[in-house]
Amino acid sequence: MTALLDELKMLIRHKGPITVERYMELALAHPEYGYYMSRDPFGAAGDFTTAPEISQMFGELLGLWAAEVWTSMGKPNPVQLIELGPGRGTLMSDALRAARIMPEFRAAIEVWLMETSPTLAAMQHELLLDAGVAIAWAQSLKEIPQGPSIVLGNEFLDALPLRQFVRVRGQWRERTIRLNDAGELAFDVAAEPEPYIRANARDGEVLEVNPAGHRFMFELGARLVTQGGAALLVDYGHAATGFGDTLQALRAHRFVDPLDMPGECDLTAHVDFAAMARSAAATGAKVYGPVDQGDFLTAIGLDLRAKALADRAGPERAEELKLARNRLVGKGKGEMGSLFKVMAVANRKLPEPPGFRPVVAASA
Ligand code: SAH
């Protein structure tokens, strides 16, 4: 029994069923017991591993991507380098190190970390203490002063609470969580249908809508349109909108029941990139992709980077680099190359950002 489970049961007992959206919000961001609020969930000892935690190459390549976009923006000084949900701060640390090859860019950077977890913000602070650039924190985009920006976000959108609707006898009903006869959490559907949802589907299908994601894409697009700049969003999800329940919970690298141990496991959902792209495009921003993470990283030079690092390292480290490279770009089971997708949102005045054209193999 977790402290949050107790609290949720009491809430439902007194106020009635809660929506999946509210459940996810409380499980992840409850000020005291929320999953991200109190712990470091990453790495081998944690619940899941992310691309920047797998290899320094991920953050380094994103740093070089940012430097190239900055050049195409006409080298504004200052420029904001914003990261969404930076976790341990590893991606930013690697990106800033890689940016050393372009001192002009590094000198122009003002780093903004958008983070809601005080525990993770403290870790980011410690890791980036010696980075040699000005760093500030914000909890939302609105708090970050106006100005041209380059925005990076890895596994940010998947952590935003989403709503689910279930098709029941020809009508959509919001998916809720109630207490069953044994007093345990159980999925249910709301009594009232949602007749304004026009999508048609077979009974039992689940439709997911991410209101927080849409709000965020509107804000992001509007900012890039008026202030200039580009954003890169990397996440696991699907390129086309479809039906299906994608809510999942991870604990110690294993899938668990999303209703088990709220606050003690990571709760995420697949990102509907097509839906996110529609909201960003509605602001007048230009959307690129999504493309597979494997193709994107290959296009921006992962193999060259892996080779450069391996040439300088011993055989053991070279093997490690090869494994990391394969995990990031491979498209097989357990690999991230096609499960994860990359999408860019940019001001229309900018040329196409790097990484969105397939690499053409050099002919022999
Ligand atoms: N980007 C990191 C961490 C991904 S986990 C990595 O790739 O390793 C999700 C991150 O987003 C965590 O840092 C979490 O605290 C943060 N987060 C979740 N919801 C958020 C929100 N609404 N605003 C800002 N940060 C959020």
Q: Is the pLDDT of residue 128 over 60?
A: yes
Q: Is the pLDDT of residue 336 over 70?
A: yes
- Partners of 109 in the beta sheet? 79
Q: Do 18 and 11 contact (CB within 8 A), yes or no?
A: yes
Query: From the alpha carbon of 53, which atom of ligand 1 is closest?
Result: 8
Q: What is the average pLDDT across 130-139?
A: 95
Distance 155 CA to ligand 1 centre (A): 7
Question: Rounded to two decimals, what is the model's pTM?
Answer: 0.95
Q: How far is the CA of 116 from the centre of ligand 1 (A)?
A: 7
- Identify which of 356, 216, 350, 225 has the alpha carbon closest to the alpha carbon of residue 290: 356
Span from the CA of 85 to the centroid of ligand 1 (angstroms)? 3
Q: What is the pLDDT of residue 39?
A: 83
The first and second tokens of residue 250, run together, are: 């991870």
Query: CATH number of 35-162+210-346: 3.40.50.12710, 3.40.50.20, 3.40.50.300, 3.10.20.340?
Result: 3.40.50.12710
Give 3-state DSSP helix, strand, coil % of the chain, rounded to 5. Answer: 40, 25, 35
- Which atom of ligand 1 is nearest the CA belonging to 212? 22
pLDDT of residue 360: 64
Residue with tokens 């050099």: 362
| pLDDT of res. 47 | 84
pLDDT of residue 173: 98
Identify whether the C-beta of residue 206 lies closer than 8 Å to the C-beta of residue 173.
no
What is the number of other CB atoms lying within 10 angstroms of the CB of residue 84?
22
Ligand 1 binding pocket mutation candidate from 116, 120, 154 (most atoms within 8 A of CB)? 116
Which residue ranges make up each domain of the chain?
Answer: 35-162+210-346
Return the ligand 1 atom nearest residue 114 CA. Answer: 24
Mean pLDDT within 123-135: 95
Task: Give the residue-averaged pLDDT of 102-108.
Answer: 97
Q: Supply the pLDDT for residue 94.
A: 98
pLDDT interval class at 1 (50, 70, 90): low
Atom from ligand 1 closest to the CA of residue 83: 1
Mean local confidence (pLDDT), 183-189: 97
* Confidence tier at 364 by pLDDT (50, 70, 90): very low
Whether a cis peptide bond, with omega within 30° of 0, leads into 78 is yes
Tell me how far apart the alpha carbons of residues 207 and 167 are, in angstroms, rounded to a whole number.
Answer: 8
| Partners of residue 111 on adjacent β-strands | 81, 135
**What was the pLDDT predicted at 40?**
85
pLDDT at 231 over 60: yes
What does the pLDDT look like over 22-54, one tens digit per residue? 999 999 999 999 999 888 888 778 888 999 999
Average predicted confidence (pLDDT) for the chain: 94
| CA of 235 relative to ligand 1 center, distance in Å | 12
CA of 40 to the centre of ligand 1 (A): 11
Task: Check residue 246 and give its pLDDT.
Answer: 96
Residue 280 has pLDDT above 70, yes or no: yes
The mean pLDDT of 236-260, rounded to a whole number, is: 93
pLDDT tier at 357, thresholds 50, 70, 90: confident
**Ligand 1 pocket: which residues have CB below 6 Å?**
36, 42, 50, 52-53, 85-87, 91, 114-117, 120, 154-156, 159
DSSP state of 251: E
Q: Separation of 161 CA from ligand 1 center, angstroms?
A: 12
Whether residue 190 is predicted with pLDDT greater than 60 in this model: the reply is: yes
Q: Which residues lie below 8 Å from residue 304, measured CB to CB, with a gap of 6+?
A: none
Residue 362: the pLDDT is 53
Which residues sit opposite 234 in a β-bridge?
Answer: 154, 342
Largest distance between two CA atoms of the chain: 71
Q: CB 78: neighbour CB atoms within 10 A?
A: 13
